[in-house]
A and B are shown apart, each in its own frame.
Chain A
Amino acid sequence: MLRFIAGRLLQAIPVLWVIVTLTFFLVRLAPGGPFDTERAVSPEVRAALEAHYGLDAPLWRQYLDYLAGVLRGDFGPSFKYANRSVTELIAAGFPVTAELGLWALSIAVLLGVGAGLIAALRPRRWPDHLAMSAAMLGICLPSFVLGPLLALLFGIVLGWLPVSGWGLTPGDKILPALTLGAGYAAYLARLTRGGLLEMLSQDFVRTARAKGAGELRVLLVHALRGGLVPVVAFLGPAAAGLLAGSFVVETVFQIPGLGRFFVQAAFNRDYTMVMGMTVFFSTLIVLFNLLADIALVWLDPRLRGAAGQGGGR
């Protein structure tokens, strides 16, 4: 197992290097630069700005300097936010985004796996149809529609919860977490149902039933572990997606997280910020996929041999 993990970590290094390199050059290829503004900037001022941020050096020099910085964990100063470093901005936004993602994931698992269980317990009967219709709605309703709807309903019409903010007024985390979690809950519900139904048709389940185990016990004790394999396989990328994809929810609910920075940085041509965020998120995604793989190996005995030989999935 350790060898499997070490192998995967080693594989991650070239992946990250390629990502850093591509981002470095692609962001500079995009038309418009960090100092293009609506009002003309005189050539002298532009030259002073470029000198300040090291953009006057040849490109290969900038690239090597940047790589060296990344190795030291230094992503440089933000081009847009003059008195902040990229590392500082990530450190400020990440805990917020991570917490939002965590709550959203908890809601997604709670609602999604719950609904999937109910549906699998009574397949093709009304609880199944109800749960799956709700899930379909959750998948179809994007967060930029669901978020404002929830905010209008609970925030303004009913006046129960604040329409924006994060950790400022009681209850202001509920709506954003629900909005972000809803879509994932819907996917999870369908995955759970599918996984469980597949397991329920297996021989070992029939054996359990023949020995007189109750339907609930069969489901929870025998089928659930295997039935969750697709769910867990989905959770790794989903967790990364929650972090990188929180932009909409952060904007709708005015949350000071990383998602907003990511998108703003691209619009601002804030080169260092775009690169810092890309490297940071890529590392997270690699990490989450690895965690999901480890969990899968633990859940699915068939994968263990392969992992033991260090070959990955």
Chain B
Amino acid sequence: MRHLIAAGLLIGLGLLGGCSGGQDLPAGVLRIGNGTEPQDLDPHVTTGLPEYRIQLALFEGLVAKDPRTLEPVPAVARHWTVSDDGLRYTFELRPEARWSNGDAVTADDFVFSFRRLLTPALGGEYAYMLYPIVNARAYHLGQIDDFAAVGVRAPDPHTLVIELEHPVPYFLQLLDHHSAYPVHRPTIEAFGAQARRGTAWTRPGNLVGNGPFVLREWSVNRRIVVEPNPHYWNAGAVHLPAIAFLPVEDANTQERMFRGGQLDIVLGGLNPDKIEYYRRERPQALRVSPAYATYYYEFNTRRPPFDDPRVRRALAMAIDREAIVERVTRGGQRPAAALTPPDPYGYRPPEALRFDPEAARALLAEAGYPDGRGFPPFEVLYNTAEMHQRIAVAIQQMWKRHLNIEARLTNMEWKVYLAARNDGEFDVARAGWVGDFLDPINFLELLSGYSGNNHSGWSDPRFDALLEQSNRERDRARRYALLQEAERLAMEAMPVIPIYYYSNVQLVSERVQGWHDNLLDYHPYLGVRLDRAAD
């Protein structure tokens, strides 16, 4: 009967189901809800996560990460050695590595690719990821023109030597970032100048990559489909017949598509109310895990009264972070007592911040505002989004209740908010930071005097010196101790209020095998399969 009615509807509405462009995917294809339409697929041009998820299928760096432990594992390089001073990395490339057109992947390809990213005219926003390399920064800023002076060379086709300016304990992690992916020189040059962005080389049929998959289809705003690369050196670990990336922007649409069986994986953006539903109904499909990311508020320390560290600490101590994660965000977030999230390598952020309304009131009185008297009205700025608003309202109430001060809430559309924050046109602004690699420096640099991402106006030469010192320290424990000291120092000055550590909330169909949750939300496709028996 159902089918009769459905058939009737079909005919009655004039065969709206008629075909126009595109076709449905065969069974067994992994369908991933990927947020937004990618700006491009050129790994040296793009900046976003949706692009990176596709590039992870199309390209491969010197090393990769094990998605369970996040430890570096061999990729194009099958072996590497690091000199005792931590300054020279020598990579031995596997001879069987191939581009998707069958060409061998050579050390020269990497030299070419690093040079391309560092060429000023390309405008690669992530070029700074290569700055630890000798003279990379100078070349990128146009201070030197001779790339031979940059610390990358290929003594033979299967050996790549990289020299660093200072020891970088996380350097291997940088090499599987998309900015360090190799690109195929003849392909790039066939479609325009090396350092020209936006040429046609990334179109289906043109793109030559060295990853486990090749680009088959790119329908704008509809989907991107990749299929296995027959020349890939580790083709045996590829079990998916294809992957489709769907640019679904709306979180509710994405969730309906998952429930309706049109998506196998939904990455992020699940409404907290839906989290409850999945906990009850499909606990196997709901994956909530800690993320390497922090949600925080920045003070504009150039403006009174926020130029007084006692005021900043008072406001920070009057926020009940437990209440925010338990009653407002409700999605597995953890209260943050410092800016840096804990990581598996053993960095423990100092417990520098606790909820203590008594002490907060005392500090505020000491700063000259007993019971909030005379405290000037101020604004909390956030970009327009329901969750940011809910959090801001909760914090506004806590400040009112515990400190008797009035915060006004101002929400702005994303780009307006970014412009206001960058120009220092705010009192207190919401911010978030997602770590690119597992190392505390990632977060602590946000507070350095030289970071473009430090909007607070606060800086301290002692803090910058500690970071500098940690760059030269090779022993992990001693290095972490320096960084902890730096973080403790910053948290005493409190130019930012850490609020919570994000969580990764994903929906992964029960049929997907080999998909591992981790801090970096890093999901390579090798070893992933779609179990059709459970369908």
Q: Is the CB of A253 within 8 A of B253?
A: yes
| Interface residue? B388 (CB, 8 A) | no
Chain B residues numbered 209-249 whose CB sits less than 8 Å from any CB in chain A = 219-222, 246, 248-249
Please give me the residue from chain A that is nearest to B19 by CB atom.
A167
CB-CB under 8 A for A177 and B122, given A31-B420, A148-B252, A164-B260: no
| Interface residue? B47 (CB, 8 A) | yes
Q: Is the CB of B253 within 8 A of A252?
A: yes
| Interface residue? A25 (CB, 8 A) | no
Q: Which residues of B contact A44 (CB under 8 A)?
A: 120, 140-142
A46, B46: Cα distance in complex, Å: 14
| Interface residue? B280 (CB, 8 A) | no
Q: Is the CB of A80 within 8 A of B39?
A: yes
Q: Which residues of B contact A165 (CB under 8 A)?
A: 262
**What's the nearest-Cβ distance from chain B to residue A300, in Å?**
30
Q: Which residues of A contact B250 (CB under 8 A)?
A: 251-252, 254
Report which of A30, A32, A41, A177 forms a contact with B125, defined as CB distance below 8 A. Answer: A41
A49, B198: Cα distance in complex, Å: 11
CB-CB under 8 A for A49 and B252, given A169-B24, A256-B219, A267-B413: no
Please give me the residue from chain B that is nearest to A172 by CB atom.
B17
Report which of B40, B127, B220, B451 forms a contact with A82, defined as CB distance below 8 A. Answer: B40
Q: Which residues of B contact A169 (CB under 8 A)?
A: 17, 24
CB-CB under 8 A for A40 and B451, given A83-B42, A174-B9: yes
| Interface residue? B5 (CB, 8 A) | yes
A156, B141: Cα distance in complex, Å: 55
CB-CB under 8 A for A99 and B20, given A48-B121, A267-B414: yes
A168, B453: Cα distance in complex, Å: 43
Q: Is the CB of A37 within 8 A of B418?
A: yes
Please give me the residue from chain B that is nearest to A173 by CB atom.
B16
A213, B36: Cα distance in complex, Å: 61
Q: Which residues of B contact A33 (CB under 8 A)?
A: 415, 419
**What's the nearest-Cβ distance from chain B to residue A73, in Å?**
19
Report which of A31, A45, A260 forms a contact with B127, defined as CB distance below 8 A. Answer: A45
Q: Is the CB of A37 within 8 A of B125?
A: yes
Q: Which residues of A contact B413 (CB under 8 A)?
A: 32, 267
Q: Which residues of A contact B253 (CB under 8 A)?
A: 163-164, 251-254
| Interface residue? A215 (CB, 8 A) | no
Chain A residues numbered 143-177 whose CB sits less than 8 Å from any CB in chain B = 148, 151-152, 155-156, 158-174, 177
> Using an 8 Å CB-CB cutoff, how does the interface string of B1-24 with A read, 1 for contact, 0 for none?
010011001100110111111111
Please give me the residue from chain A that is nearest to B201 by CB atom.
A83
Please give me the residue from chain A that is nearest to B124 by CB atom.
A45
Q: Is the CB of A174 within 8 A of B37?
A: no
Chain B residues numbered 157-187 whose CB sits less than 8 Å from any CB in chain A = none
Q: Which residues of B contact A83 (CB under 8 A)?
A: 40, 42, 198-200, 202-203
A255, B457: Cα distance in complex, Å: 44
| Interface residue? B520 (CB, 8 A) | no
Q: Is the CB of B415 within 8 A of A32?
A: yes
| Interface residue? A89 (CB, 8 A) | yes
Q: Which residues of B contact A177 (CB under 8 A)?
A: 13, 16
Q: Is the CB of B125 within 8 A of A168?
A: no
A161, B249: Cα distance in complex, Å: 21
A166, B37: Cα distance in complex, Å: 16
Q: Which residues of B contact A39 (CB under 8 A)?
A: 47, 125, 452-453
| Interface residue? B267 (CB, 8 A) | no
CB-CB under 8 A for A32 and B419, given A45-B127, A171-B6: yes
Q: Is the CB of B249 within 8 A of A251?
A: yes
Please give me the residue from chain B that is nearest to A267 by CB atom.
B414
A173, B260: Cα distance in complex, Å: 16
Which of B5, B36, B250, B252 has the most chain A CB atoms inside 10 A of its CB?
A: B250
CB-CB under 8 A for A171 and B219, given A80-B39, A151-B256: no
| Interface residue? B462 (CB, 8 A) | no
Q: Is the CB of B220 within 8 A of A93?
A: yes
Please give me the residue from chain A that is nearest to B123 by CB atom.
A48
Q: Which residues of B contact A261 (CB under 8 A)?
A: 221
| Interface residue? B469 (CB, 8 A) | no
| Interface residue? A52 (CB, 8 A) | yes
Q: Is the CB of A170 within 8 A of B10?
A: yes
**What's the nearest-Cβ distance from chain B to residue A33, in Å?**
7
CB-CB under 8 A for A37 and B47, given A52-B197, A84-B220: yes
Report which of B39, B123, B252 forms a contact with A45, defined as CB distance below 8 A. Answer: B123
> Using an 8 Å CB-CB cutoff, how does the interface string of B378-395 with A read, 1 for contact, 0 for none?
000000000000000000
| Interface residue? A269 (CB, 8 A) | yes
Chain A residues numbered 81-115 whose CB sits less than 8 Å from any CB in chain B = 81-84, 89, 92-93, 95-96, 99, 103, 106-107
Q: Which residues of A contact B200 (CB under 8 A)?
A: 83
Q: Which residues of B contact A167 (CB under 8 A)?
A: 18-22
A88, B136: Cα distance in complex, Å: 37
Please give me the residue from chain A that is nearest to B14 by CB atom.
A106
CB-CB under 8 A for A168 and B22, given A83-B203, A251-B250, A267-B413: yes
A89, B219: Cα distance in complex, Å: 10
| Interface residue? A77 (CB, 8 A) | yes
| Interface residue? B45 (CB, 8 A) | yes
Q: Is the CB of A269 within 8 A of B220?
A: no
Q: Is the CB of B42 within 8 A of A174?
A: no
Q: Which residues of B contact A89 (CB under 8 A)?
A: 220
**What's the nearest-Cβ distance from chain A to residue B216, in Å?**
15
A174, B18: Cα distance in complex, Å: 10
Q: Which residues of A contact B5 (CB under 8 A)?
A: 160
| Interface residue? A42 (CB, 8 A) | yes
A49, B122: Cα distance in complex, Å: 8
Q: Which residues of A contact B419 (CB under 8 A)?
A: 31-33, 36
Q: Is the CB of A48 within 8 A of B21?
A: no
Q: Which residues of B contact A252 (CB under 8 A)?
A: 250, 252-253
Q: Is the CB of B10 within 8 A of A174?
A: yes
Please give me the residue from chain A that is nearest to B416 by CB atom.
A31
| Interface residue? B512 (CB, 8 A) | no
Please give me the residue from chain A that is nearest to B141 by CB atom.
A44
Please give me the residue from chain A that is nearest to B198 by CB atom.
A82
| Interface residue? B270 (CB, 8 A) | no
Q: Is the CB of B128 within 8 A of A42?
A: yes
| Interface residue? B79 (CB, 8 A) | no
| Interface residue? A203 (CB, 8 A) | no
A269, B208: Cα distance in complex, Å: 31
Q: Is the CB of A81 within 8 A of B248?
A: no
| Interface residue? B81 (CB, 8 A) | no
A42, B129: Cα distance in complex, Å: 13
Top 7 A-B residue pairs of the complex, sorted by shortest distance between their CB atoms = A40-B452, A32-B415, A48-B123, A256-B221, A173-B16, A163-B260, A170-B17
Given A155-B256, A167-B22, 11 additional A-B pairs, CB 8 A: A32-B413, A49-B123, A82-B198, A84-B198, A95-B21, A151-B256, A152-B256, A159-B2, A160-B6, A260-B221, A264-B249
21 contacts across the A-B interface (CB closer than 8 A): A32-B418, A36-B422, A41-B452, A44-B120, A48-B122, A83-B200, A89-B220, A92-B219, A96-B20, A106-B14, A151-B256, A161-B6, A161-B9, A162-B260, A164-B248, A167-B19, A167-B20, A170-B17, A251-B249, A252-B252, A268-B415
